[in-house]
């Protein structure tokens, strides 16, 4: 029996492993380290589940259903498995996990520097120093909203917001809103702001269209059952591209509603192509709107075809195949908007997120600032990273996706410690092999 009741977390000293971040990925790592009786501490700059407390908008619900909310040793146990958690519910879920596992979390402790030394790593925080043989970076993939360069050219009297600063439509000035980006975030914000009575334009680049339900089941049922989400990082054709793909256009709601560009159009939102530049206050959009939408429709239909093929060889109760209408695009979409004429008062940059490694003083970042790793085994002895998109599998950045990765990586870490800090090979990905034809997943 494992004793999960570690108490009185030390504020500094020596340990085998420092885990940085107490989101679900750091806590899952802690659980697996506990299972192996590996001494460790989890350092968290805020509270447990800090990102869900501080960096999400008020109306956001998970786009993964409750039945999919599971972590090592723990799973959703409420009475609404097909529902979607609100932000306070996600915070409660992750806090409950921290309590259940008695993770040795030191909250309100910001890691300010990690340096390599002859005994492993020196981890400095704003309240003490740690010496560790190994470090697991679980500090999140979405610490910073990634604004494109063009944001610098926007006239100063227009309010620029990122999803981290957006809470709800009531905070916006009266007037039009330009939402840049059509991933899950951009779509959800454009929908909410449009419904609140603002005139909304959405700039649409590459996106991943996906129905909420297909053949009578939630799309996540199919993504799991077909094995699509288990595809391994070393089997993905272009893993760099896969790691940068926008999140699928999904929304979690009690009526399981679908949200795509057609729904936005029906609700009065105007579509434009990708925002290419702002010159003298004129926003210029690409003419490729029709093409990017056609490509997203094509990929979605390929994905549905993959699911149909799987169903043919697996007995499962479900409805007949169906296809959605293609995205309706204008023959002559908006190519420019004058940002000087007062019609647009706010721009929301729903253009993705990136991690922040400004505290990491170990030379493991590539020239784009991405951490160099092989399936989570970082390019520095005894250092690991968890929770990044397609880290070891397609599901890696999702709550339900972290367990397999963390089990692989803590096994590797254990061997590393046992070997006295000698380099060892990355672990093989050890789950069911998924379908080979993953067309539609980018």
Contact (CB, 8 A) for 209 and 300:
yes
Q: Residues near 402 by Cβ (< 8 Å), separated by ≥ 6?
A: 24, 25, 28, 71, 386, 387, 396
Composition of the chain by helix, strand, coil, percent to 5 = 25, 20, 50
Tokens representing 94 are 């992750």
**Residue for token digits 């296809």?**
323
Least distance CB 28 / ligand FAD (angstroms):
8
Task: Please name which of 207, 218, 165 lies closest in space to residue 184, comparing C-alpha atoms.
Answer: 207
Least distance CB 137 / ligand FAD (angstroms):
9
Nearer to ligand FAD, 20 or 283 (CB): 20
Nearer to ligand FAD, 110 or 301 (CB): 110
Least distance CB 434 / ligand FAD (angstroms):
18
Backbone angles phi, psi at 277, to 5 degrees: -170, 165
Backbone angles phi, psi at 299, to 5 degrees: -65, -40
Least distance CB 49 / ligand FAD (angstroms):
6
Least distance CB 65 / ligand FAD (angstroms):
9
Nearer to ligand FAD, 181 or 387 (CB): 387
Least distance CB 382 / ligand FAD (angstroms):
18
The H-or-E segment that residue 261 falls in is: helix 261-266
Angstrom distances, CA of residue 147 to CA of 58, 154, 285, 313: 21, 12, 16, 45
Nearer to ligand FAD, 142 or 293 (CB): 142
Nearer to ligand FAD, 51 or 226 (CB): 51
Q: Give CA–CA dist 414/95, Å, rounded.
A: 26
Nearer to ligand FAD, 21 or 83 (CB): 21
Q: Give CA–CA dist 255/207, Å, rounded.
A: 24
Residues making contact with ligand FAD (CB under 6 A):
20-26, 43-46, 50-51, 56, 62-64, 110-111, 138-143, 185, 353, 359, 387, 397-399
Least distance CB 376 / ligand FAD (angstroms):
12
- With 0-12 / 13-18 / 19 or more C-beta atoms within 10 angstroms meaning exposed / middle / buried, residue 7 is exposed
- Report the residue closest to ligand FAD, judged by CB: 23
Q: Give CA–CA dist 202/222, Å, rounded.
A: 29
Nearer to ligand FAD, 98 or 303 (CB): 98
Q: Give CA–CA dist 418/197, Å, rounded.
A: 61
Nearer to ligand FAD, 68 or 306 (CB): 68
Q: Give CA–CA dist 21/226, Å, rounded.
A: 32
Half-sphere exposure of 339 (CA within 13 A, CB side): 25
Least distance CB 143 / ligand FAD (angstroms):
6
Nearer to ligand FAD, 141 or 154 (CB): 141
């Amino acid at each position: 029996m494992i004793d999960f009741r570690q108490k009185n977390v030390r504020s500094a000293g020596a340990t085998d492993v420092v885990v940085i971040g107490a989101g679900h990925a750091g806590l899952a790592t802690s659980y697996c380290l506990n299972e192996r009786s590996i001494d460790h501490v989890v350092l968290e700059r805020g509270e447990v589940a800090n990102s869900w407390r501080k960096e999400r908008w008020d109306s956001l619900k998970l786009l993964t259903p409750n039945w999919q909310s599971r972590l090592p040793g723990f799973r959703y146990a409420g009475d609404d498995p097909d529902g979607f958690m609100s932000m306070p519910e996600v915070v409660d879920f992750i806090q409950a996990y921290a309590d259940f596992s008695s993770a040795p979390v030191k909250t309100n402790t910001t890691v300010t520097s990690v340096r390599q030394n002859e005994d492993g790593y020196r981890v400095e925080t704003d309240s003490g120093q740690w010496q560790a043989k190994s470090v697991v970076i679980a500090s999140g993939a979405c610490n910073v909203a990634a604004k494109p360069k063009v944001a610098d050219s926007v006239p100063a009297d227009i309010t620029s917001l990122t999803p981290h600063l957006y809470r709800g439509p009531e905070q916006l000035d009266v007037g039009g809103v330009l939402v840049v980006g059509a991933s899950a975030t951009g779509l959800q914000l454009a929908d909410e702001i449009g419904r609140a009575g603002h005139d909304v334009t959405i700039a649409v680049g590459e996106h991943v269209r996906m129905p909420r339900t297909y053949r009578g089941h939630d799309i996540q049922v199919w993504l799991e059952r077909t094995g699509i989400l288990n595809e391994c990082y070393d089997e993905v054709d272009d893993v760099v591209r896969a790691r940068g793909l926008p999140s699928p256009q999904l929304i979690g709601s009690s009526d399981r509603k679908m949200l795509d560009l057609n729904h936005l159009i029906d609700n009065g939102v105007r579509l434009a192509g990708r925002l290419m530049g702002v010159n003298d206050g004129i926003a210029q959009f690409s003419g490729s709107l029709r093409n990017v939408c056609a490509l997203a429709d094509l990929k979605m239909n390929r994905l549905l075809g993959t699911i149909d093929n799987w169903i043919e060889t697996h007995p499962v109760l479900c409805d007949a195949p169906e296809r959605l209408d293609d995205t309706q695009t204008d023959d002559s979409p908006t190519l420019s908007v004058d940002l000087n004429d007062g019609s647009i008062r706010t721009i929301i940059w729903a253009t993705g997120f990136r991690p922040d490694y400004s505290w990491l003083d170990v030379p493991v970042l590539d020239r784009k600032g991405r951490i160099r790793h092989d399936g989570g085994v970082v390019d520095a002895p005894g250092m690991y990273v968890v929770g990044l998109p397609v880290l070891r599998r397609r599901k890696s950045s999702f709550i339900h996706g972290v367990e397999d990765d963390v089990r692989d990586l803590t096994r590797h870490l254990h061997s590393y410690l046992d070997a006295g800090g000698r380099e060892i090979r990355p672990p093989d990905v050890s789950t069911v092999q998924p379908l080979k034809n993953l067309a539609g997943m980018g």
